[in-house]
Structures are given as structure tokens and as C-alpha cells.
């Protein structure tokens, strides 16, 4: 079999890249060892659409992507017969706490004219009465004797009214793959890539576990938690200055108390004061996850095919009781409802969108956890990287940039290089 491009990974990032390259007139084959589009990490995503990152280029990327999610059907150019994911606008609240005051975000938002409000504690209580405005810094484990201590002060919040979430992340990936297939892309599910084929320093395709070879002059690694394994197979790990590897996380669904249901016009909340993020969801529920506070052990995984998918009692209790501190009327459920998930995370939680030393081999790695929202720009970056390489431009020494149509500002794609120094970010899933 022969094609112009092989995209490894059928999650939201791989699907977006496949669609962009199919729109550009290239033949595309999408290979994924899973059973369906978005069935891996994407299915566990909270699908939050926000633009509160620590770096200028990351904020720009998210700001440009957000307008595409808002006009999803127009962007896709095809209606998915299995249904269409929807953007739900809720606004986004970041608690300003001792460990995260949001000032770097606010400065960038001012520069880009992104609307926001700073709410003091009284304003926060009035606007969102279901939420507590006290500070319990620093985040603590539930076995810490200080976990239940009284508040140490009050918090303010950085609130933007334009953020929200996609109601079904797996369906969003399916929408992307469907739109790519309408343009001729092919999918190969339940297939594992076991070799990146090369001649000299140029990629020539991939070999599957079945022994079948797909010939292609371009291969894009968008394999999520399996991405580091694919890069190891390709032989490019040693050239990278930024590591990326699978990180196990747990995400939960819990009943929403009165006052924090979707119809109550409540926001997505980033609460680094207690170490959680949460958002309202359909059906009177809340989606909840952690923000990697210093007190929590990070569970890095050596093998993305060998890990525990079931939730753990300790992490569930910690997440629920942290939420109860922030939401006094929250009734802790008697049993967990959630899943274990794998994130492909980098050292600084900034993704890698880049070429490699192998001509024709490109990567969209370190994307799990906070890059769902940026899929519409990730695809553009990969297309530009491919076109630059074909034109003989060395992105490593002469980084490309992209002028965002919404902002009119240049995004430095080199900020997402595999060769970059570790960036000064929040050091958490917040990016």
C-alpha cells in the first residue's frame, strides 16, 4: 500500500492533522492500535476550551483554536452521520492563589485584548455562590493532619467569559476522522506500527505488526501515550532536548450540587489552591481532575500498554474531599465514578510540534492533558512544517511562524521545538 502521509494516532490531534493534510490534497492513511477514533486519551479528556497558558505563543495558539471550536461544523466541512460535537460556553475561572496568581496570563490577555474580569472574594461569592472563596493553600493530601485546617485567607479570581468545553471529546475526534475520510483519507484501526522504515536519513513508510508495509514519504507521530515508544522505534529520542512520556491520571464524574449545574451558568474552574480543576457537564454532573500539586506523587508509566485503568480509592477520596472544600454543598458520593487515563506529558507541559532529523518524520507529541483545545492549530503547524521541509527550509535553524487570523499576531512554531530549553510554565496540566 502506498500513500502520501501516514498519521500514527486517531485521537483529536491525529484526526485534526489528517483532516488538514487531506484538505491540502494529500492522500492520508491513519493508523491506530485502538478500535475507534478518539478511543484512547481523547476519550478521557475534559475537552476544556480555554486560553490561560503561561507563554505568549501557547495563549495565541489556544485563542486562535477557540474560534474554530465555536464554528465546528463550518470548519469540518462535513456533517458526521454519527452526530456532531458541540461547543458549550461557560466562561473560565482561575483562582488566584499563592502558588498561581495568574499574572503572566493576565499580561498576555491584555496584550491580545482578550476580555476578562478580576473578581475579588466578595465579587466571586456573589457571581458564583456555589463556590467558596477562601484559601487553603497549599494543597494537601487527605492523610495530612492539616488537610481540614481553617482557611488562611481569601482568594480573588481571573475570569474570562468566552471559554467553555466540547460536550463529547471522542465524538469530536470522530468528526475529524469522518471529515478526513470524506476527502479520501483511510483508517486502519487495531493496527500497530512496529517499525518506521527509512533509507539513509529519509523515511519511506511504516511496517505494521501484521507484517504489512505502508509506503509513504511522510510519517506524523501523533500517537499520544504511545508517542515516545514510536519515537524510540524511529530512533529520534536521543536528539530531543525535551522528554515526553506517559503519565497516569485519574478523572472523575460526580453529581453536581444545587447551584453548580450547567443551567446555573457556572464556569470551568481551575483551582490550584486545593489542587483540582472541575467543570459542569450535561446531566447535572461535574467533571473533575487534578492539577499535579507538589504533594501528589506523579505516576509515570514505562509501558503505555501495561498500566492500571481502574481508579484508586486514595486518589478518588482526595479529589472528592478537595472538591468539597471548594464547594461546601457538594455531597461526596459513596463510590467512585471515573477512569484512569494516560497523558503524554513533556517536562514543561508544553507540547512538541516539530520535524526531526529524519527527513519526512514529524511529531505532535506531549499533547495529552492540555492540548485537546489546540488541535485546530496543531494541524496547521504540522502542515506548515511539512511544507517548509519540502521547500528546503530548516526549521531547526530558521523557525517558521504562523499569523493567526483572529489575532493578526505571529505564533512562533519554534516555541514547540523538540530542541527547546524547558520553558518557565506552571509546571502542571495548566501549561
Domain count, the chain: 2
Please give the average per-residue pLDDT across 28-53, as a whole number. Answer: 94
In a domain, 102, yes or no: no
Picking from 341, 375, 393, the residue at the C-terminal end of a domain is 341
Report the pLDDT value the prediction gives residue 369, as an integer from 0 to 100: 75
**In the predicted model, is pLDDT for residue 22 greater than 70?**
yes
In a domain, 431, yes or no: no
In a domain, 425, yes or no: no
**Local confidence band at 428 (pLDDT 50, 70, 90 cut-offs):** low
In a domain, 428, yes or no: no
Structural contact between residues 198 and 192, judged by C-beta atoms closer than 8 angstroms:
no
**In the predicted model, is pLDDT for residue 425 greater than 80?**
no
In a domain, 424, yes or no: no
pLDDT tens, residue by residue, 269-312: 999 999 999 999 999 999 999 999 999 999 999 999 999 888 99
Specify whether 204 is located in the same domain as 265.
no
Please give the average per-residue pLDDT across 72-78, as a whole number. Answer: 97
Specify whether 209 is located in the same domain as 192.
yes
Picking from 284, 312, 341, the residue at the C-terminal end of a domain is 341
In a domain, 93, yes or no: no
* Domain range enclosing 128: 110-161+255-341
Cis peptide, bond prior to residue 138, ω within 30 of zero: yes
What distance in Å separates the CA atoms of residue 290 and residue 141, rounded to the nearest whole number? 12
Report the pLDDT value the prediction gives residue 427, as an integer from 0 to 100: 63
Specify whether 79 is located in the same domain as 187.
yes
Specify whether 133 is located in the same domain as 204.
no
Domain of residue 358, CATH code: 3.50.50.60
In a domain, 230, yes or no: yes
Report the pLDDT value the prediction gives residue 431, as an integer from 0 to 100: 61
Specify whether 118 is located in the same domain as 259.
yes
Specify whether 367 is located in the same domain as 385.
yes
In a domain, 315, yes or no: yes
| Global confidence as pTM | 0.96
Amino acid at each position: 500500500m502506498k500513500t502520501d502521509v501516514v498519521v500514527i494516532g486517531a485521537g483529536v490531534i491525529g484526526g485534526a492533522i489528517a483532516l488538514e493534510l487531506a484538505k491540502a490534497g494529500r492522500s492520508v492513511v491513519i493508523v491506530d492500535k485502538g478500535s475507534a477514533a478518539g478511543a484512547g486519551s481523547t476519550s478521557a479528556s475534559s475537552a476544556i476550551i480555554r486560553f490561560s497558558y503561561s507563554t505568549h505563543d501557547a495563549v495565541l495558539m489556544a485563542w486562535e483554536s477557540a474560534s474554530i471550536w465555536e464554528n465546528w461544523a463550518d470548519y469540518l466541512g462535513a456533517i458526521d452521520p454519527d452526530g456532531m460535537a458541540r461547543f458549550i460556553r461557560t466562561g473560565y475561572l482561575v483562582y488566584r492563589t499563592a502558588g498561581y496568581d495568574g499574572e503572566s496570563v493576565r499580561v498576555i490577555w491584555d496584550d491580545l485584548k482578550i476580555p476578562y474580569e478580576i473578581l475579588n472574594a466578595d465579587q466571586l461569592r456573589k457571581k458564583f455562590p456555589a463556590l467558596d472563596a477562601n484559601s487553603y493553600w497549599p494543597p494537601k493530601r487527605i492523610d495530612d493532619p492539616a488537610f481540614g485546617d481553617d482557611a488562611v485567607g481569601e482568594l480573588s479570581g481571573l475570569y474570562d467569559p468566552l471559554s467553555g468545553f466540547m460536550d463529547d471529546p471522542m465524538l469530536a475526534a470522530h468528526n475529524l476522522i469522518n471529515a478526513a475520510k470524506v476527502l479520501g483519507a483511510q483508517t486502519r484501526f487495531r493496527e500497530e506500527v512496529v517499525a518506521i522504515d527509512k533509507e539513509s536519513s529519509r523515511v519511506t513508510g511504516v511496517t505494521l505488526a501484521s507484517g504489512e508495509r505502508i509506503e509513504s514519504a511522510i510519517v506524523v507521530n501523533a500517537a499520544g501515550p504511545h508517542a515516545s515508544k514510536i519515537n524510540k522505534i524511529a530512533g529520534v529520542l536521543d536528539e530531543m532536548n525535551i522528554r515526553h512520556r506517559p503519565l497516569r491520571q485519574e478523572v472523575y464524574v460526580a453529581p453536581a450540587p444545587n447551584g453548580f449545574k450547567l443551567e446555573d451558568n457556572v464556569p470551568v474552574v481551575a483551582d490550584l489552591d486545593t489542587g483540582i480543576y472541575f467543570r459542569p457537564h450535561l446531566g447535572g454532573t461535574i467533571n473533575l481532575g487534578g492539577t499535579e500539586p507538589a504533594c501528589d506523587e506523579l505516576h509515570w508509566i514505562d509501558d503505555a500498554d501495561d498500566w492500571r485503568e481502574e481508579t484508586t480509592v486514595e486518589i478518588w477520596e482526595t479529589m472528592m474531599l478537595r472538591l468539597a472544600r471548594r464547594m461546601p454543598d457538594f455531597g461526596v458520593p459513596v463510590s467512585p465514578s471515573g477512569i484512569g487515563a494516560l497523558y503524554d506529558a513533556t517536562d514543561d507541559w508544553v507540547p512538541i510540534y516539530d520535524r526531526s532529523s529524519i527527513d519526512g518524520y514529524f511529531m505532535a507529541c506531549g499533547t495529552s492533558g492540555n492540548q485537546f483545545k489546540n488541535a485546530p492549530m496543531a494541524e496547521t503547524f504540522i502542515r506548515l512544517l511539512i511544507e517548509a521541509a519540502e521547500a528546503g527550509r530548516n526549521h531547526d535553524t530558521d523557525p517558521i511562524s504562523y499569523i493567526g487570523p483572529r489575532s493578526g499576531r505571529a505564533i512562533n512554531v519554534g516555541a514547540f521545538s523538540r530542541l527547546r530549553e524547558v520553558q518557565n510554565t506552571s509546571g502542571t496540566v495548566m501549561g
